[in-house]
Each structure stands twice: as structure tokens, then as C-alpha cells.
């Protein structure tokens, strides 16, 4: 065994002794290595060390379902591949295909078989083909599986090893401290060959929680991860990861064993020859979310969950006060870590990350304004039995129609401004496909499917979508052109590297601005966004712009005089003011 592999083994044993103190750590370590490197495959000699080379300013992601685009004749994954090649080449380099496995509910997040592709979408060859052209992000729903899948069916029949795969609890226990994102009962009574059991259901009664206190569950998940890597997956999105370890009497969220399991997975992918990134999905307040960076030994990337509600509030209110205040206190990501910046997702705009950031009256006004634009509100049960807003469900394009003042003529510019902000910030920008496509709220889907989240999960008929894209005056074509153009510009600017220096600017509250500087200090960018319907001016002296440099707005092409009195921002105008356009000459030559 290589000396470095001895280090891997020692680190595995240390983690396993924390997760499973009553099991043999050496035996478990051998089983894990056999599960993750089967059939004679071996780890790297050395672990991949934390660095800022895992990503660059060229990185941006598209988030989509495998069947967002349909036509009734072709496989949806074939249509998705066609859409990506037509519109996304050179615009984004990665695509997150939301769960593409067979499932029973929750639009894919109640997985019945992790080793198969949903035949209604396509097959593994389609997934691998997309992965050959785009960095592929895939979901690993660690916390639970479908009640209709083989694992749970085998559990009910008492067949090993699945008879110990699911978390059982006593309904007489005090579970009031458990943190949950749903209002349904936590426990579900089910019949098994061994009698009635009460199984744990954090999310729904069709999504049965796995019991990670059984190491066989972890081993099986590691085998699945290895298979997905071999199929071309390069970023693993650990969905619902915060809930995977249960201890009655606690909150059952973010427990030490949960973090240790994430550290174990990170350790393994650091030893893979394939470059694999871990992305954790934890829709919780900031400090809890940031804890999944660990000490550069857990997730490579975390979702920047406060961004969606704060950007929406800024656009509605015409003030970046709370967005500025929050951003100014955000720590830079550690070496080897990055934020994933987004404004919309397949779920909704989470309200928990706004806790402690937006005052209650501002949060309530934001919700009321979004409801005027057609948004729905999903609730969660609090420990005292009351309910609180968990997320806003809406098309973000529609949500931007209305401000605290009401509707106006700035809808398009306001929306583009909202999407430019995540392009400007430290981290990697990610865009939900329906934001790229200016998709309106699908209220018919809500009525038909009986779920709020369906409002932002529209399925486009591909011929109709192509017709819209060919119409230069359509919302779809206009938004696609604007966002694609800005992302192409961004990809050439080293000042927008995900780990480039960032400083939050103190400006007029109607402006949200950051200063970015490339890692080699060659390029500076002042990324400033007017979130109001008013014309705002700023002095170059406020920005400390160096007068000897030649400054230009990358978005408008306008030359900016650093000695002038003011720089003018039209309503919702964004400017990327830089002293250089592109990387340093030596970098160009390389």
C-alpha cells in the first residue's frame, strides 16, 4: 500500500470512529474502499488539495429538469441536448439535470432506483452524451428514497439488508424539537412482515428516511456515487443532506455525524482520478449553511440561499439596504471553496435564509407584493405547532412585474438586473432554465397537480419554444439574448473568477455594488447595479477609481472618465466598469 493510501486509510478510520463508534473502523474502512474503488480500480496516490483551480470565470450553470422541453415525439433528453447545443454553448459550461431517475413523487426527489434513468426521459447513454459536452451536476438524495422503490418493498418484507435500511421511531417519544420543512406528520405507521412500524418521513409519506446509523446504507450510497461518476457526473449535489442523521430529543439537523459523513464523501472524491465537486443543498440560515464548508474538508460549494429573497426584496423595494448589509458581512469562501449564486430554483424562493436578515415587516411586505404578482406561499410547522412561511412559489420573471409601488414599465430591465447580480458576485452563477426562458407562472399546472411548486416547473412544447426564440420581440428571445450576452462577457474577465477578491461598496442605498479584483491583481471591476426605478448618480471618487487608468463599462461599451463628477445609472442599469478587458497578456499567450 502506498504511503499516501495509508493516510487515506487512517483518515477514514478516524471519521468512521466518530460516525460508528461501536463498529470496527478498520473493517469498515476496507469495506468503503472496496465499495468506492471496485474491481481493481485504485485511488490516486495523493489527495487533491484545496485550490482555486477547480473553477474559473468561464463557469456558469444551467438548472433544469430532464423533461422541461418536450414535443411528444422525441426523448426529452435528446431535446435538452439540442437546446443546450443551440443556445447554451459558450454561455454556460455546466448543466444540473434535476433527478433523472425513476421516481414516484416530488418531481424526481422520491427516487425508486438510483441505478437507472427514468425511461420517460431517455437512458444512460443520453446522460453521458450531455456530460461529454457540459460539466454535469446530478442529485444524490441522501436523506430518503421512495416508498414505492425496491429498497422499501424489501424492507416491508423483512428481507436483508433492507430490513435495516430505514429509520424507525417510537411515536411516544418527544420529537417536538425536530426541525422540518413540511407540515405533514413526521412518522408514518406502516405494515411489515414483522408487524407495524413507524418510519421517519422528514419530507412526505412517500419519501422514507434512510437510517445512516446502519453503515450498510452508507456503503450502498458510496457504490451509487461511484457508478454516477463513471457515467460522467462531475458535481454531486447532496440534496437534503442536513437531515440524514437522527437522534430523538435533538433538532435532527446538522448533527456532528452528518458533517462527518460529508467529510468522508469529500475525502473519497479527493482521491478520485476524476475531478469531482461536492455541492451541498441546505436551505437554512447563513451560519448553518456555511458550516458545510467545514474546514475546507466538506463541501467544495454551497448554495448562497439568502440571495434569492434578498435580491427579490431589493428589486421590489428599490433599495439594496438589506442586500448590502448582508453582503458586507459575508466571509470570502475558503481556499478550495466557492458559493453557488442563484436567484431561482425548481422549488421556490426560500424564506428561512432571510431569517435574521430581513425584518419581519419587510419580509411580510415582500411576500404580499409577490402574491400580488401571483406568487403562492408554502408553509412549515414551527416547534410550537404554529406555521410560518417556508418559501414563495412563483415564476421569478412574473415576480419581477410588481414592486412596492405597483406595476410599471421597467419589468424587463428589472429582471435582467436581478440576474446580473449573481454574475457579478464572488462565486459561481447558476440560472434556473425558466429564468433564462422568461417562463410565466404555470397556474394551470398548480390546479392540475395540486402542488404549489408546479407553478415554476412548466414544460415547454419545443416547437412553441423555438418559435418564441425566433421572434426577436418575445420575452423568451429578449431575455435569452441579454443574459447570454452578459455571461459571454463575464467569461472573459478574470476579475469574475469565483475566488477573485471582493469588497462590498458603500453607495447610495438604491445601488448594490461590489469591487472585484482578479487573483493576479491585473484587473479591477466595479460591478454596480441600480435596483430602483430612479436615475442615480455616483462619483468616481466614491469608488476610488485610479485616474491614470482607462476605465470602460463592459456592458454598454461606454468609456468612463475617472476624473468626472458623476457616473449616471438609469433605472435598473448595471455597469461593469473595468480598467482592463480580459486576462493579462501573459495569460492570453498561454
| Element containing residue 311 per DSSP (H, E) | helix 307-317
**CB distance 346 to 457 below 8 Å:** yes
Cis? peptide before 161, omega within 30° of 0: yes
Name the residue among 289, 406, 271, 297 with its Cα closest to residue 350. 289
Q: Which three cell numbers stand for residue 214?
A: 446502519
Active site residue 384: no
Catalytic residue among 59, 139, 209, 239, which? 239
Say how far apart CA 6 and CA 219 lie, in whole Å: 20
Instruction: Specify the residue for cell string 438548472.
Output: 63
Annotated ligand binding at 408? The verdict is no
Annotated ligand binding at 144? The verdict is yes
Annotated ligand binding at 307? The verdict is no
Name the residue among 214, 204, 197, 198 with its Cα closest to residue 180. 204
CA dihedral 23, 25, 26, 29 (to 10 degrees): 110
**Per-residue three-class SS string for 454-495:** HHHCCCEEHHHHHHHHHCCCCHHHHHHHHHHHHHHHHCCCHH
DSSP assignment, residue 237?
A: E
Annotated ligand binding at 453? The verdict is yes
Q: Which residues, 6 or more positions from 55, have their beta carbon under 8 angstroms from its beta carbon?
A: 338, 428, 497, 498
Annotated ligand binding at 140? The verdict is no
**CB distance 308 to 24 below 8 Å:** no
Annotated ligand binding at 182? The verdict is no
Strand 61-64 and strand 428-432: the pairing is: parallel
Which backbone phi and psi does 386 adopt, to 5 degrees? -80, 170
Say how far apart CA 438 and CA 435 lie, in whole Å: 5
Radius of gyration of the chain (CA): 24
Catalytic residues, which ones? 239
Question: Where is the binding site, in residues?
Answer: 106, 144, 237-239, 346-347, 453
Residues making up the annotated binding site for substrate are 106, 144, 237-239, 346-347, 453
Amino acid at each position: 500500500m502506498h504511503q499516501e493510501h495509508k493516510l487515506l486509510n487512517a483518515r477514514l478510520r478516524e471519521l468512521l470512529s466518530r460516525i460508528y463508534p461501536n463498529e470496527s473502523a478498520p473493517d469498515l474502512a476496507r469495506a468503503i474502499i472496496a465499495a468506492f474503488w471496485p474491481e481493481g480500480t485504485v485511488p490516486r496516490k495523493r489527495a487533491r488539495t484545496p485550490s482555486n483551480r477547480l473553477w474559473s470565470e468561464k463557469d456558469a450553470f444551467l438548472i433544469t429538469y430532464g423533461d422541461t422541453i418536450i414535443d411528444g415525439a422525441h426523448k426529452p433528453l435528446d431535446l435538452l441536448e439540442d437546446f443546450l447545443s443551440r443556445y447554451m454553448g459558450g454561455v454556460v459550461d455546466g448543466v444540473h439535470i434535476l433527478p433523472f431517475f425513476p421516481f414516484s413523487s416530488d418531481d424526481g426527489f422520491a427516487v425508486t432506483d438510483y441505478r437507472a434513468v427514468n425511461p420517460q426521459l431517455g437512458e444512460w447513454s443520453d446522460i453521458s452524451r450531455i456530460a461529454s459536452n457540459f460539466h454535469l451536476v446530478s442529485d444524490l438524495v441522501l436523506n430518503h428514497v421512495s416508498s414505492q422503490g425496491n429498497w422499501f418493498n424489501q424492507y416491508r418484507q423483512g428481507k436483508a439488508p433492507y430490513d435495516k435500511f430505514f429509520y424507525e421511531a417510537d411515536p411516544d417519544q418527544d420529537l417536538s424539537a425536530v426541525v422540518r420543512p413540511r407540515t405533514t406528520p413526521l412518522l408514518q405507521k406502516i405494515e411489515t412482515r414483522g408487524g407495524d412500524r413507524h418510519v421517519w418521513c422528514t419530507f412526505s409519506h412517500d419519501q422514507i428516511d434512510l437510517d445512516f446509523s446502519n453503515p450498510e446504507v452508507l456503503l450502498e450510497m458510496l457504490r451509487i456515487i461511484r457508478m454516477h461518476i463513471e457515467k460522467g457526473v462531475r458535481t454531486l449535489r447532496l440534496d437534503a443532506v442536513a437531515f440524514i442523521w437522527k437522534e430523538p430529543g435533538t433538532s435532527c439537523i446538522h448533527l456532528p455525524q452528518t458533517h462527518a459523513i460529508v467529510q468522508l464523501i469529500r475525502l473519497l472524491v479527493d482521491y478520485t482520478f476524476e475531478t469531482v465537486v461536492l455541492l451541498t443543498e441546505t436551505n437554512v440560515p447563513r451560519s448553518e449553511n456555511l458550516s458545510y464548508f467545514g474546514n475546507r474538508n466538506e463541501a467544495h460549494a454551497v448554495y448562497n440561499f439568502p440571495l434569492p429573497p434578498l435580491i427579490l426584496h431589493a428589486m421590489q423595494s428599490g433599495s439594496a439596504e438589506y442586500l448590502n448589509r448582508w453582503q458586507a458581512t459575508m466571509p470570502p469562501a475558503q481556499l478550495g471553496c466557492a458559493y453557488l449564486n442563484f436567484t431561482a430554483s425548481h422549488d421556490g424562493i426560500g424564506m428561512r435564509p432571510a431569517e435574521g436578515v430581513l425584518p419581519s415587516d419587510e419580509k411580510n411586505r415582500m411576500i404580499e407584493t409577490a402574491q400580488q404578482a401571483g406568487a403562492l406561499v408554502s408553509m412549515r410547522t414551527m416547534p410550537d405547532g404554529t406555521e410560518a412561511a417556508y418559501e414563495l412559489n412563483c415564476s421569478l420573471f412574473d415576480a419581477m412585474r410588481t414592486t412596492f409601488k405597483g406595476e410599471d414599465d421597467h419589468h424587463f430591465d428589472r429582471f435582467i438586473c436581478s440576474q446580473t447580480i449573481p454574475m457579478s458576485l464572488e462565486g459561481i452563477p447558476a440560472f434556473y432554465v425558466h429564468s433564462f426562458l422568461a417562463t410565466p407562472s404555470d397556474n394551470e399546472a398548480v390546479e392540475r397537480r395540486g402542488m404549489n411548486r408546479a407553478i415554476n416547473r412548466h414544460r415547454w412544447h419545443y416547437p412553441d419554444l423555438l418559435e418564441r426564440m425566433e421572434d426577436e420581440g418575445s420575452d423568451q428571445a429578449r431575455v435569452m439574448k441579454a443574459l447570454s450576452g452578459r455571461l459571454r462577457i463575464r467569461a472573459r474577465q478574470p476579475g469574475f473568477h469565483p475566488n477573485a477578491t471582493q469588497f462590498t461598496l458603500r453607495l447610495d442605498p438604491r445601488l448594490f455594488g461590489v469591487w472585484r479584483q482578479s487573483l493576479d491583481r491585473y484587473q479591477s471591476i466595479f460591478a454596480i447595479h441600480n435596483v430602483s426605478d430612479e436615475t442615480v448618480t455616483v462619483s468616481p471618487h466614491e469608488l476610488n477609481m485610479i485616474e491614470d487608468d482607462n476605465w470602460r463599462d463592459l456592458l454598454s461599451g461606454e468609456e468612463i472618465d475617472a476624473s468626472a463628477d458623476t457616473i449616471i445609472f438609469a433605472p435598473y442599469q448595471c455597469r461593469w466598469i473595468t480598467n482592463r478587458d480580459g486576462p493579462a497578456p501573459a495569460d492570453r499567450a498561454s
